[in-house]
Each structure stands twice: as C-alpha cells, then as structure tokens.
Structure 1
C-alpha cells in the first residue's frame, strides 16, 4: 500500500498491518522506511501536517549526523534525497571560554571520511515527504492521532481520530518526549530540568568555516557554531548556532530586537569568521534530561525521544535515536526470519538489552558534561582545561574519542555498519 492521507470516510474494514508506528518524524519516519523496505506492512500516524513541517518557521534546528547515522539514512534511501543540503564535519574544536587550551579533532587522523554531517531538520523532513509516498507496504496517516490504543496478547487495536481502525502485531512509539503512547502504557519517566534553553538560529558570516564544528563552554552553558552548506557564491559561510542560556536570561534574549540580539550574539561568537548576520527566525527549546523506566511493554517498543532525551551538549540526541531505529529494525527482521512473533516480549527484550546500556551511558556522560562545564568555578575550569589539553597529547586516547564522535564504537547494528538487513 502506498502512503496517503486518510479520508474522513475511510474504509469500514480495519487496516491490517504488521507494525503500527506512532510518530513519523526524523526517527519514526526513518524506522517506517526501514521496516517497509524489508517487507513489513507498516502504518505510520503523525500529528503534524507533513506539508507544513518543512516550513522554516516550524523547526529551526539542525542535527549533527554521525558517520554511522549517515549510513542508516543512506540504507533507507534518505541520504540520496538530502545529501546536497548537508555539510561535512571535517574538524571539531572544543574550547573552554577564552582559554588558550582547547581540544581539536582532525578527521584526517582517522582516514578520509568526515566525523559526520550537519543537516537542517527540515531537509530530512523534505526527504521523508519525497520518499514515503514511493514506498510499498507503507501507509502514512497525517495529520492524525491515535485516539484509542488497546494492546492485548493477540495483537494491537488502534482507532484513529477520523475513525479509521488499524490492527497490528506491534506498536512502536516514536511520538516524542511527551509521548502519549508511553504515558498511556503507564511507563514511568525519570526527568530533570537543566534550567536552561537552547537558543537556535542560523547565521551567515564573511569568512568560510572550513567545515569545522566549534563548541565554546561559557558559564551559562555550551555555545556551538555548527557548519552548514552555504550558497553557490559562498559555499561555506553559513552556520547553525545553538546558544545555551540560563532559564532567567533566555526569555530576555528572545525578546530583544534584531540589533540588540545580534550584539549579544557577537559577544559570544567572536570575530574569527568576520562579520555575522542572523538569517531567518530564532527559536528557543527548554533543555532537560529524561529516560523511561523500560523501553518495552506488551506489544510495545519505545524508540528515540519517547525512550530517552538528553542535553544537546554532545550533539548525540538524534544519533542515539537512529541507533534505536537500526537496532529495532534488525531485531524485528531477524525475528521474522526465525518465524517468531515480532510483538512477543522475548523479541522485544533483545531490543531493550541492546540499547539500554548504550543510551544510559550517553545520558550519564552528557549530564556530567553539563554540570561540569555550565559554570565558571575556577578550580573546575582549570581541571577541565588541563583535561582537554591532555587528550590532545595522547594520540590513542584522542582517536578513541574521535571514533566515538563518528559513532563507530560499540555493538553497531548492521545498518550503521553500512550493511543490509
């Protein structure tokens, strides 16, 4: 079945699929493609109007796609749709404010491939809008919501907002940090607020960024300058800004007029790329950490932000979500190959065991980094500066961290190794 919008007068017979995916955004859409391309019948439901979610005012964020995550997007065909709108990350430079000590990663120390790529979220959504309608076995219902969801031993029974009924063997929640599916299943959530927000905007600058991602740690939190593709005339003169600011200050910053906002931005950005200009709207996203008590329940699996959400300090949020996608797809393909019930708990346990430790470790690392670097306490500042400088002096340790940045460390699913399922 090809993807289509649902009709108010839909068919009276329930739609029978193998997997119901609730949430068709960056992670959910990628998962839907991976499953459908491997022979599963998939129904995906998303609350958003997919024609509007590519507007510049919908989402101002850009994502750092690690090399292993790029392989996932390539494996499902999305990369071919978006590659011309991406910028490679060839270098990473991390500094503590104005300290002369810094950490520098150069991709050539590991080979010819970049650490990853920067891509605007709207570009990925445009790719989904192009690819989803062409994909067999995938029915995509948006804008729509699941009003009733019953999970039983013999299957999943869902009723959509417009009355359409769907029957499936498994439901996957990809419906975000506030996941109604997770809440409806009674899965407990642990979370805390960092009392910060990420102010996001795009800037153009005089000099090229040379595809170097920069992160400066300031007392209020990290300030990231991330390379984006530019124009034909200035191909490397546009960057995405993620400016972490305290809860008492970010609303003030967001209310500034354009001239005053630019002045505040310049104080943090510096002049190493020449004059800068804000292009497009500004956005602010409150920052927090959260994780679900369990990733699975009867005929239910949680993926990406529905299962875990982290601070953007390490740029790993979407990457960890795509690892979930690749792992779950592999587990389900293997279960079907063995003739197993894809919604059975013993199958879903394999997914949870594979992903839980990795996600918890990344949540812990990002939380420590936030608390360590979002302050101006002098002894801590000296210790972290010396720590970054020390990593620079130990090539083996430095290469280990660089491979982590590429996402090529750990028990990688096949899609992340560039293999087929």
Structure 2
C-alpha cells in the first residue's frame, strides 16, 4: 500500500505525540519522586541534552541536505527509541551494586536522545515542505498538530496507567513506540522531490558536507529575517528550558494538590494534560478556519500576540498562590505553546530556500540548544539559590527580547 507524503507526515506527528505524551506527562513522578532529582539536577539533565544537540545538529542537518532527509529521519527515530528505553532503564541499571548511578545513566540517555533528535530535527520539515510545496505546508503543519493532539490524549492515559505500575515504564514504552515508528517510515516514507548533491571524483564526502553547510550559512547571512530568527530561537530556548523542567516541580514543591481529592501526582498531571489537550484542539480548530497560513504578515502578527500572552502566562504561573490559579495559568500557556509551533514553523519555512532547508533549520535548532544550554543552568541555579518561583520569573524575563525582535521583523516586512 502506498501512502501520500502528507498522510505519512500526519501519522508521524500522531506517533511522535503519542510517544512523547506517554513519556513526558508523568516525567516528574519518575525524575523528581522516584529518582529524587533537585532543581539543579533537572536543569543539568536538560543541559546535557542541549549541549549534545548544539554539537551534533549542524552535522546531521548537513547530512540530510547532502544525502537524504528520509534516511536522516529514519536513523533518528531508531536512535531516539534506544535513548528513551535507556532513560527508563536508568532506575534499574543504577540500583544495587552498580558502579554507575541512576543519575549518570540518565545523563548518558540524554546524550543518545540528543543525537537522535538532531537527525530528525529539520530533516522531517525539510522533507515534507519539498514533497507538498511551501504553499501547502502551513495548512499541513496545523493539521498534523491537530491530529497529534489526539495522540497526546491517548498517551496521557497510557502515561498515568503505566506510571501507576512503575514510574519508569512510560519511558520504556515510549522508546518502543519510536522504534515502531522507525520501522513504519522505513516502509512508507518516500523521497521524490529531493535530489542528493552530486559528488565529483575529486571531492570527498567531507568537502561535500562542508559545501552544504557554507551554503546554509550564506543564506542566513544574506537574509535579515533569518538572522532575526536565530536570535529569537536563542532567547526562546533559554526561556522554555527553565519552564519545561520546573513547572511540575512548582506544583509538587510550592503549590501542592487539593487534599480533598485523593489523586496521585501522576493522576493530577494526567488530568492537566487532558484539559490542555482538549483546549488546544478547540483552539487549533479555530486557527485552521480563520488563519491564512500562507500570509507571512498574518503569521508574524500572530506570533507577536502569542509571545505577549506567553510571557504573561509564565509570570502568572510563577506568582500563583493557589491550585486553581496555577492550573488555569498552565492550561492557558499550553494552548499558547501549541498554537505557536505550527505558526513559527510556517514563518521559518517561508524564508528558506529548498536546497539548504534542513541545514538552515538545524542551525535554528542549534541556536535554540545554545539558549537552553546557557539559560537552563542559570534558571536552575536561581531555583536552588532562591526558589522555583524565582526561576519561572527569570524564564519569563528571558523571553521578553523576542517581542522586540518580532516587532523588528514586522517593520522590516
């Protein structure tokens, strides 16, 4: 059976969302409660991941643009699967008389996870934009995100159920899902619009890859908007790392859950994820009907509004004093983040030439990783030195320069 590229892309989005929500809905139960990580260790885990991405992203992006986006994505899925299974096994490998503690196994798993992520990052988007065309990409990004939200809903239930059996099981099962997805793509993912760079007899593979990287760097240098995008991802990465690693810790350490309802922490995080997913589905439905994703001006204005709302929501989470307040703030923020992803991807791809698409997208991911690498430990140190609330305030402050950059991009247009 032959599947159209857009169908393969939406299935991939569904499976990735399913696996990620299975693992990450209750990650705090595993990392904070079962492994006992403190705020600094949580941010150190993120820092290892982002340093790995920073080092390997450029290499894997160039490989995708030089040889094959399809091959890069498939390799990445299998590597990600292995990394997540290892992360879930850290608690088993680090117990008893093991010379390597569980935390160190966790860091090794993050390194493998980072390498796998770099093979997929940029290559999947570059592949589908070339296959369906830039004029159809924006609508497909929204559709894939909407379909992915259904996978998220299923994964939430799996995460809570598996976590009740053992806190590490969501990672093991999520890793197996990535391996299954790799097998699916091996059969059904086709590459029809991409032409690999031809290598002459006197040109080595390294020279070929260097030429691809230089081409991507020159494209960014020539385009003012792409330079702005690099800076945007730098600050956005610094802000997101702090929030992503600490919002569940904020619930556990600072706010607490209602004592009148005897739910476990895993169940509460599952409920929060379900609520945010349903709200996101509603918001995505409106966006698909109302937004012209082919109009760069509309997309950019939308990004400015969403960034303002995102800063306000993070500050609201940080300053919250009771469960209802922080719950509403988190739900609003998750909807904002869901909306921002497809819009940012559309804006980015409207400004990139096909031949260097994966390389430029990888450079953007490198900038994001640099922001998370530098910003993450800073936010974690603030959490250890003062409080998790203070860390979240710093995360909001780190996001504020993005508004200035988006405004400049809009004026430039």
> What TM-score do the two structures reach when normalised by structure 2?
0.28
Which structure shows the higher strand fraction? 1
> What TM-score do the two structures reach when normalised by structure 1?
0.28
